[in-house]
Chains A and B, each alone.
Chain A
Amino acid sequence: MRIAIASGKGGTGKTLVAASLAKVWDGPVMAVDLDVEEPNLHLFLKPEFGRCEEARIEVPAVDEDRCTHCRACAELCQFKAISDLGRVLLTFPEMCHGCGGCLAVCPEKALMPSSRLLGEICFGQAQDLRFLMGRLRVGEAMSPPLIQAVKRASDGFLPGAGPCDIIFDAPPGVSCPAVNAVMGCDATVLVTEPTPFGFHDLKLAVEAFRPLGTPLGVVVNKAGLGDQDVFTFAAVEDLPVLAEIPYDRRIAEAYSKGKIVAEALPEMRYLFRGLAVRIQGLARPALKERRYA
């Protein structure tokens, strides 16, 4: 079972929810931080890190002697990562999305695979919990290829144990990084807050993620604050509200000290256990479909 913890708005509590869920989850589970631009789930789960691997993306290298400047590669590339200037073939590796199209269309075999460092993938363990995170290289602009690499790694990361459920802590927003994190999951939990900002971005998130076909559910954090708009929206859109985390200073205090809220406060442990069960119910139909596909 693969669960994505996502949101439109940043700072609504994705990591708070992901860390607590991982701790109360029944059965073998892995927590994966896909917020590769600023991973922070490890600050709460405190895993011991084993190995870290480099993640790279394929980019073209040019053999000038073989290039006849036919422009096939330059015309194919939609990102101008390879540009033919008549007498020179120029590459901009940092703009390359790694599709491999230029290498495929070159009739002269003048392009060879080279690579660009995206970042690293770190494997860890926190007691029974398996932990995985991606960390984007400083200066790298493209996080989706690294997010995909971390997800592939999570499929193969099974040290000494059978299959396990996976909780993905997604990056905020509703653009390519978040969509890449949510894709292929059995359920997506949208963490929001009952404020105009939370409401606005929840609408965007539903619009962005619903077409992916993954069942969606909502967790309202800081409940008691703000207004009723997110609840009305959830009812109208037929989105189950899976949990309401109260607006409570003790939660903020525990979180700010790097504590896991479900461990720090007994009533939160209870709340997150209920949330875990509801998420499992939400994901089950998709999971079944995937198994029999």
Chain B
Amino acid sequence: MTRIAISSEGPGLEERVDPRFGRAAGFILIDLDTMEHEYLDNGSSQARGQGAGIQAVEMIALAGGVKAVLTGFVGPKAFQALQAARIEIGQNLDGLTVREAVERYKQGRVKAASQPNR
């Protein structure tokens, strides 16, 4: 089973990828083999003054078994935390739907980022 997390504007696969990682509305955790997915709400990040990105990484890491995240922009601290948690990062995927981003990842067309893009 390969699980990845996508920052999403809502709970469905037709939602758009949320361009912000740390302050994404939520994350869709999806099993790439079965396409079964669940939604983690991240609304509480809006209330955070700082540390939203780190908080999001914690949530995803604790959900367990997540190999990669797909999102728009990842800040430097979230990037550091994702690397520490050994989670691959696919960024600049804003503008796509969650399903499109997942398909692109499955086709091997998402390159793992080596540095934060904001």
Contact = CB atoms under 8 A, between A and B. Distances in A.
A80 B50 contact: yes
Interface in A57-108: 74, 79-81, 83-88, 90, 92, 95
Interface in A104-149: none
Contacts of B58: 74, 80, 83-85
Contacts of B57: 83, 85
Contacts of B85: 85-88
A74 B57 CA distance: 13
A283 B77 CA distance: 46
A80 B84 contact: no
B50 A95 contact: yes
Interface string B91-113: 00000000000000000000000
A92 B62 contact: no
Contacts, number: 42
The interface residues of chain B, by DSSP majority, are classed as helix
Q: Which of B48, B58, B80, B84 has the most CB of A within 10 A?
A: B58
A122 B64 CA distance: 50
B50 A88 contact: no
Interface residues of B toward A: which range?
A: 10 to 19
Contacts of A81: 51
A225 B89 CA distance: 57
Contacts of A83: 51, 54-55, 57-58, 81
B32 interface: no
B84 A88 contact: yes
Contacts of A85: 57-58, 61-62, 81, 84-85
B84 A92 contact: no
A92 B80 CA distance: 10
Contacts of A92: 51, 54, 77, 80
Nearest to B49: A79
Contact of B51 (A80, A84, A86, A88): A80
Nearest to B62: A86
Contacts of B48: 80
Nearest to B85: A85
Contact of A80 (B55, B61, B62, B64): B55
B84 to A, nearest CB: 5
Closest 3 pairs between A and B when the two form their complex, measured CB to CB: A80-B51, A80-B54, A85-B61
Interface of A: 74, 79-81, 83-88, 90, 92, 95
Given A83-B57, A84-B58, A86-B62, 13 more contacts: A74-B58, A79-B50, A80-B58, A83-B51, A85-B58, A85-B81, A85-B84, A85-B85, A90-B54, A90-B80, A90-B81, A92-B54, A95-B51
29 contacts: A74-B58, A79-B51, A80-B50, A80-B51, A80-B54, A80-B55, A80-B58, A81-B51, A83-B55, A83-B57, A83-B58, A83-B81, A84-B58, A85-B57, A85-B62, A85-B84, A85-B85, A86-B61, A86-B62, A86-B85, A87-B85, A88-B84, A90-B54, A90-B81, A92-B51, A92-B54, A92-B77, A92-B80, A95-B51
